[in-house]
């Protein structure tokens, strides 16, 4: 038996049977590593590749989402009649209170307008926004990010603020032609600079893995003399470079002084329920631009 025969028989015995899946594995590994490297070094606003692929994926993603809605429709349909009636009563009471409040506020509003005219103040800037639907998530337990069905074609850009009817949801962190990825403020390591509603005191609220799935943020760096027990409502701060000021974040609780006796820290219950997001608003007015406009 020649050397070549030996090689051949060795190949047929030991290599040939494994060749296909092993080569396939190496091929897949190479492809993935290449993709990861490319994306790591080109993490810009819009990667053309993902933009193109997005046009194919988003309809698919919406389809999957609809299947999900069909199989398991949330909340509203599970609520019993009793609960619904109770809710109606609660809302009626709330409505009455709000009507009262609204009248007072309208008075204050017109007074404010007059005073502004007297002071010759610039027109108050209003925010423009785009409505979007949440169409996908990661299906894992450690990221608080989701995909929405609006992208650069609808004017969405990275760093735009995302809110819903309750308050601040997060920030657009990635865009495609017809989709965008939103990173919620409860994502581990996301910091938002916040202030009390009267705008006097600043602090930092951060998302933490330790509180994942509980709609909670960690509050840090509030000065000790700030009364967070009395007015515990926190809104986005003026000094933040990405978040527009005055958007409701949540309500502070369990605030305790730190050991340094200069600052206090605690927890924040977010105004938004991140476990049940379906529709969001992307505010297309951006903080940086606004600052430029105001000079």
Partner 1 sequence: MIRLKRFLVTALSLTFCYIMQMVVLPRIPYLIAVPNLLLIEVLSVGFLFGKAYGLAVGVVCGFLMDILGTGTWGFYTLIFAWLGYGNGVLSEKMELELLYVLFLLLILNEGLYHVYVFVFAFLLRRSFSLPVYIRQVVLPEFLLTAVCFIVIYGILIYLSRRWDLKVNKGAVKVVS
The candidate with the shortest Cα–Cα distance to 175, out of 192, 195, 155, is 155
Contact mark string toward partner 1, 140..159, x via CB under 8 A = xxxx-xxx------------
Region of 101-109, 115-123, 203-211, 283-291 interacting with partner 1 (CB under 8 A): 203-211
Q: State the nearest-atom distance from the C-beta of 147 to partner 1, in Å.
A: 6
Q: Which residue from 212, 221, 269, 284 is in contact with partner 1, where contact means CB under 8 A?
A: 212
Q: Give least dist CB 78 to partner 1, A.
A: 9
What six digits make up the tokens of 207?
């998302």
250 part of the interface to partner 1, by CB under 8 A: no
Of 92, 93, 138, 293, the one binding partner 1 (CB under 8 A) is: 138
Of 175 and 232, which has the nearer Cβ to partner 1? Answer: 175
Closest contact distance (angstroms) between CB of 140 and partner 1 is: 7
Cβ atoms of 103 and 109 closer than 8 Å:
no
Among positions 46-65, residues that touch partner 1 (CB under 8 A) are 50, 53, 57, 60-61, 64-65
Q: In this chain, which of 149, 171, 174, 205 binds partner 1, going by CB under 8 A?
A: 174
Residue 194's closest CA among 186, 207, 203?
203
The pair of three-digit structure tokens given for residue 24, joined into one six-digit string: 């396939």
Task: Give whichever of 61 and 221 is closer to partner 1, judged by the CB atom.
Answer: 61
CA–CA gap between residue 141 and residue 210 (Å, rounded): 12
From residue 64 to residue 103, what is the string marking binding to partner 1 with x (rule CB under 8 A)? xx-xx--xx-xx----------------------------
Contact between 119 and partner 1 per CB under 8 A: no
In whole angstroms, the minimum distance from the beta carbon of 264 to partner 1 comes to: 22
Instruction: Give the count of residues interacting with partner 1 (CB under 8 A).
Output: 49
**Please, what is the end-to-end C-alpha distance for the chain in angstroms?**
87
Among 137, 153, 227, 288, binds partner 1 (CB under 8 A): 137
Residue in 209, 218, 248, 281 binding partner 1, rule: CB under 8 A: 209
Query: With binding defined as CB under 8 A, does residue 13 bind partner 1?
Result: no
In the complex, the residues that contact partner 1 under the rule CB under 8 A are 20-21, 24-25, 28-29, 31-36, 39-40, 50, 53, 57, 60-61, 64-65, 67-68, 71-72, 74-75, 136-143, 145-147, 174, 181, 188-189, 208-210, 212-213, 275-276
């Amino acid at each position: 038996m020649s050397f070549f025969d030996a090689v051949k028989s060795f190949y047929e015995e030991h290599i040939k049977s494994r060749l296909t899946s092993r080569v396939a594995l190496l091929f897949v590994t190479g492809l993935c590593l290449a993709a990861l490297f490319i994306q790591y070094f080109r993490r810009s606003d819009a990667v053309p590749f993902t933009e193109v692929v997005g046009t194919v994926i988003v309809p698919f993603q919406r389809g999957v989402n609809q299947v999900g809605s069909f199989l398991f429709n949330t909340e509203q349909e599970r609520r019993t009649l009793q609960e619904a009636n109770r809710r109606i009563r609660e809302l009626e009471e709330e409505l009455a209170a709000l009507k009262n409040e609204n009248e007072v506020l309208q008075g204050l509003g017109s007074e404010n307008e007059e005073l502004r005219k007297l002071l010759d103040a610039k027109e108050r800037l209003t925010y423009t926004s785009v409505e979007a639907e949440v169409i996908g998530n990661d299906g894992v337990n450690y990221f608080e990010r989701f995909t929405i069905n609006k992208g650069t074609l609808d004017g969405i850009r990275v760093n735009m603020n995302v809110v819903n009817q309750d308050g601040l949801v997060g920030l657009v962190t990635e865009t495609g032609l017809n989709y965008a990825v939103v990173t919620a403020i409860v994502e581990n390591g996301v910091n938002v600079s916040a202030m009390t509603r009267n705008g006097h005191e600043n602090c930092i609220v951060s998302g933490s893995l330790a509180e994942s799935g509980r709609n909670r943020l960690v509050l840090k760096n509030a000065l000790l003399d700030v009364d967070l027990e009395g007015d515990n409502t926190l809104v986005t701060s003026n000094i933040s470079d990405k978040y527009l000021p005055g958007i409701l974040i949540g309500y502070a609780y369990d605030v305790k002084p730190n050991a340094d006796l200069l600052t206090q820290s605690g927890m924040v219950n977010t105004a938004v329920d991140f476990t049940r997001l379906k529709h969001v608003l992307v505010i297309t007015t951006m903080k940086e631009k606004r600052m430029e406009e105001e000079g």
